[in-house]
Amino acid sequence: MTSKQRAYLKSQANSIPSIFQVGKASLTPELTAAVEEALEKRELIKLSVLKNCFDDPKEIAVILSERTRSDVVQVIGKKIILYRPSKKEPKIQLPNGGKHR
């Protein structure tokens, strides 16, 4: 993913709310499955890491991106933004003919 594509996705993510919260249990198989499903439907999602989660948000983002085969767009504070184009109906058009991995 190019920096231009990443900047575009960050701007798109500004207006979306966090749809998941990572809490004390951290990354459960259920959370991973829910994130996978949300990425297929929405392509771009935001997660919040709660104060009672003692894992590093950057580590959580990397693990989630590996498990869901998505890209980490940004980790800022306790917010994580992930992107993966939909297999069935891609909606987000990346600049520069954005090819995904």
Residue 98 has pLDDT above 50, yes or no: no
pLDDT tens, position by position, 60-81: 999 999 999 999 999 999 999 9
Query: CA angle, 72 as apex, 19 and 53 as ends, to 5°?
Result: 55
In 14-96, alpha helices (H): 29-42, 57-68
Each domain of the chain, given as residue ranges in start order, spans 3-83
For strand 71-76 and strand 44-49, is the pairing parallel, antiparallel, or unpaired?
unpaired
86 contact partners, CB below 8 Å, separation of at least 6: 39, 40, 41, 43
Tallying the residues shown for the chain, one arrives at 101
Instruction: Name which CATH class applies to 3-83.
Output: alpha beta
pTM equals 0.88
d(CA 49, CA 65): 15
